[in-house]
A and B are shown apart, each in its own frame.
Chain A
Amino acid sequence: MRVGMTLFSFIHQKKVRDLFWQALVLGLTLGLLVFFVLNASRNMREAGIASGFDFLWRTAGIEIPFVLTGYTPQSDNLALLWVGIVNTLLITLISAAAATVLGFVIGIARLSRNWLLSSLAGAYVEAVRNIPLLFFVLFWYFGVIAALPGPRNSIPFFNVAFLNNRGLTIPLPNDAAPFGRAVLVILVALIVQITFAWWAARRRDRTGKIAPVWTLGIVLLVALPVMALTWATLSTGWDIPALRGFNYRGGFVLVPEFVALFVALTTYTAAFIAEIVRGGILAVPKGQLEAAAALGLRSGYILRLVVIPQALRVMIPPITSQYLNVLKNSSFGAAIAYPELVSVFMGSALNNTGQAIEIIAITLSVYLAIGLAVSAFMNWYNARIALVVR
């Protein structure tokens, strides 16, 4: 029985209040959005800016200095968008791979018994993490690469690649087909290795017999790829850059913007990955090592069977978020006019067409889509390798 029930006492009911607060917040959010959209559409009408996505099929008319697709200034804006996406993905993949290698080296060096080595690695991490990435991008671009000698006094790498103030000129194979075959061989080897590891793990669980997974892995994933790539390298002619007059002819020029952004992203991200690697290895409890040693495992086995599997579990989620950071940070290229997504689309194309809303929406969707895809994959992967507590 309710005592003292009045007309308005329903406002004391929790359900009613919850509903009220949610409706209020939702109403305010939607109201604000509608307000912004109305203002934007009126402002755009007054400024005479067209809307819609027709502009994607109009000629872009923008010269891009670094193109891997078939883009020319006569292509449409959609092709321009594709150039931006390809350039963003290119710098992201290469920098992320290089940063992973460098980060693992520095992270392991930080744990070295050798005092000089570990403090050097520590100094690197502390120095790099506390300085803005944009500083490094500008420093490498204006401070280092712009100060390199001209083509005539290039810094040679084995006399096939040449670094100068116009970028890094690398040789290009005349025929790409052998490389296609090599990649195919590597893919097949990868599938064989994964299948074998899966079969070996099942057999180990069933019978306790250990198969030489690691030995086969080294053969299939290190020796075979090296051989395949060497064969591909030797079986085709090469377009090796050569100095003609004032510049290099032949080969492929990685523009200075690319080189500067690559070095900055790699060295910066490596410092963060090094910390993750160090944390991951330290996260393996000491008792695990002692238990493994007590079982009579040799140090190689301890590393392979005990330390690495557990450390990787800790390391993979934060390293993934570092990869996403590389993707987002590749947009720092806009500061030195490396033609990546933000700089060609939100910069050049937006200036040309004035269609701010559409262009911003497309650009952000690309980043969000890639980010969501990577997160979804990582969640699936994490769920797979998560420790099963029995």
Chain B
Amino acid sequence: MTIAAHWSQIRKRLFATPLDIVVTLVIAYLLWRSIVPLVEWVFVDATFSGTTRNDCTSGGACWVFVRARFGQFMYGLYPTLERWRVDLAGIILVGSIAALSWKALPYRRAAAVATVLLLPPLGVWLLGGGFGLRGVETREWGGLMLTIFISLYAGLIAIPLGILLALGRRSKLPIIRMIAIIFIEFWRGVPIVAVIFLASILLPLIMPAGVGIDRLARAVIGLGLVIAAYMAEAVRGGLQALPAGQQEAATALGLGYWRATSLIILPQAIRIALPAMTNEFIALVKNTTLVLIVSILDLLGIAQAALADPNWVGMNKEAYAFAGILYWLGCFGLSRVGLAMERRRSQGEQY
């Protein structure tokens, strides 16, 4: 493109009418006034090296604070000597996801089933200890590691339960349909904050005497139940989008309900529902922050707790900026994954 062509593009997009000129200039001015100080605070005037609060004298962001507390932001109060276990669990998790997303992996289906069955108990063992490892109480877990832990384990409850509930809601058997509808609408109608309260108060109450439930497990179960209801609606969308002919063809082939559902219906319906399910998972990640209400310190809770440290008074901006960026990166990344899945599906349909 020539310079003239570029210029006409810019004119069309920014200066088409007198009103557009005013709007563009006002926004440009406001952006200039806000972005320049922001960049100065984050980078130019910021202090990156040092060890204490006194090293931050430049007036910009004091990233020394984040460096000094980096361990807490990641692991909470997890004992320093045992942190390799968290790292190892993370490496195993990332490694298995990478291996499973490789299409040519031999025995991929069996490996996926084994991963889903084996990794959760392995993770609990690595983090919690016992059987040869030093025990670490959930009270000491925290930070980003806890946010990821709660998201994954609540997801492990929510996804299978959500699929069952969606099938129940679409069932032709009235009693099963009724139970699924009541369950879904109840959990979707109440605030998640109330559910977390409820789980931490009611779960110990409804268990037989002597059966205690860990504080963290209560929060995970509560979140899992609510998200299951939302997940169910996402899966139901996928089930409804599937042409009725699929079910009829499966029945005509002589497949019973469970075989038709697991071999024909669910694989297609879940593929359709995956973007919506990803959105529910993002909502779950965002809602893990609510465990703060029952004094469990996830990433946001650790950032909040750091504000009370007398050695680091006045680090509110830095703490919130760091936690906020981590949340944004995680959720934005997940939403891009969801979009990519959607695109791949709509491309697949063209063939």
Kindly identify which residue among B13, B290, B316 contacts A142, using a CB–CB cutoff of 8 Å: B316
Task: Tell me whether A368 and B190 are in contact (CB under 8 A).
Answer: yes
A25-B194 contact, Cβ under 8 Å, with A43-B205, A44-B205, A116-B14:
no
User: Does chain B have a CB within 8 A of A134?
Assistant: yes
CA distance A18 to B323 in the complex (A): 52
Q: Is B138 an interface residue (CB 8 A)?
A: no
User: Considering the chains assembled together, what is the distance between the CA atoms of A364 and B335 in angstroms?
Assistant: 31
Q: Is the CB of A22 within 8 A of B173?
A: yes
Confirm or deny: A207 has a beta carbon within 8 angstroms of a beta carbon on chain B: no
CB of A334 within 8 A of CB of B293, answer yes
A371 B189 Cβ-Cβ under 8 A = yes
B292–A363 contact, CB under 8 A?
no
Q: How far is the CB of A381 from chain B (nearest CB, A)?
A: 19
Looking at the complex, which one of B28, B209, B282, B300 makes contact with A138 (CB distance below 8 Å)? Answer: B300
**A36: which B residues are within 8 A, CB to CB?**
206
Please state if B328 and A368 are interface contacts (CB–CB under 8 Å): no
Do A347 and B328 form a contact, CB below 8 Å, given A113-B20, A114-B14, A114-B24?
A: no
User: Contact between A134 and B300 (Cβ–Cβ < 8 Å)?
Assistant: yes
A113 B194 Cβ-Cβ under 8 A: no
- For window 78-121 of B, CB contacts with A under 8 Å fall at none
Cβ-defined contact, A134 with B292, below 8 A:
yes
- On chain B, the residues within 8 Å of A138 by CB distance are 300, 304, 320
- Residues of chain B at interface, number, CB under 8 A: 54
Whole-angstrom distance between the Cβ of A118 and the nearest chain B Cβ: 9
Chain A residues with Cβ below 8 Å from B39 are none
A40 B24 Cβ-Cβ under 8 A: no
Of B51-59, B123-131, B195-203, B270-278, the one contacting chain A is: B195-203
Residues of B within 8 A of A129 (CB): 331, 335
| Pair A130/B193 contact, Cβ less than 8 Å | no
Q: For residue B192, which residues in chain A have a CB less than 8 angstroms away from its CB?
A: 328, 331
A347 and B197 within 8 A (CB): yes
Main secondary structure of the interface of A (DSSP, over half): helix
Residue tally, chain A, CB below 8 Å to B: 57
CA distance A46 to B332 in the complex (A): 49
Per the bound structure, the CA–CA distance linking A114 and B327 in Å amounts to 30
- With A131-B286, A138-B300, A346-B194 known as contacts, the answer to whether A43 contacts B13 (CB < 8 A) is no
Known interface pairs A130-B331, A138-B304, A139-B320. Does A342 touch B206 (Cβ–Cβ under 8 Å)?
Answer: no
Q: How far does the Cβ of A363 sit from chain B's closest Cβ, in whole Å?
A: 6
Q: What chain A residues lie within 8 Å of B13 (beta carbons)?
A: 113-115
Whether the Cβ atoms of B27 and A22 lie closer than 8 Å is: no
**Residue B68 interfacial (CB < 8 Å):** no
| Complex CA distance for A208 and B304, rounded to whole angstroms | 64
| A363 and B205 contact, CB distance less than 8 A | no
CA distance A372 to B185 in the complex (A): 10
- Within the assembled complex, what's the spacing in Å between the Cα atoms of A230 and B289? 44
Q: Kindly state the separation between the CA atoms of A114 and B21 in the bound complex, as whole angstroms.
A: 9
Interface residue? A39 (CB, 8 A): yes
Query: Nearest residue in B to A330 (C-beta to C-beta)?
Result: B191
Within the complex, which residue of B16, B300, B332, B335 is in contact with A132, where a contact is CB–CB below 8 Å?
A: B300
Q: Is B38 in contact with chain A by the CB < 8 A criterion?
A: no
Kindly state the separation between the CA atoms of A115 and B12 in the bound complex, as whole angstroms: 9
B202 touches A356 (CB 8 A): yes
Besides the known contacts A25-B179, A40-B205, A129-B331, 4 further A-B residue pairs in the complex with CB atoms under 8 A apart: A43-B206, A113-B13, A132-B287, A350-B201
Chosen A-B contacts, 16 in total, with CB atoms closer than 8 Å, are A18-B172, A21-B176, A22-B173, A25-B175, A46-B209, A114-B13, A116-B14, A130-B335, A135-B300, A143-B317, A327-B191, A332-B290, A364-B194, A367-B194, A368-B189, A368-B190
Interface residues of A (CB under 8 A from B): 18, 21-22, 25-26, 29, 36-37, 39-40, 42-44, 46, 112-117, 120, 126-127, 129-135, 138-139, 142-143, 146-147, 327-332, 334-335, 342, 346-347, 350, 356-357, 360, 363-364, 367-368, 371-372
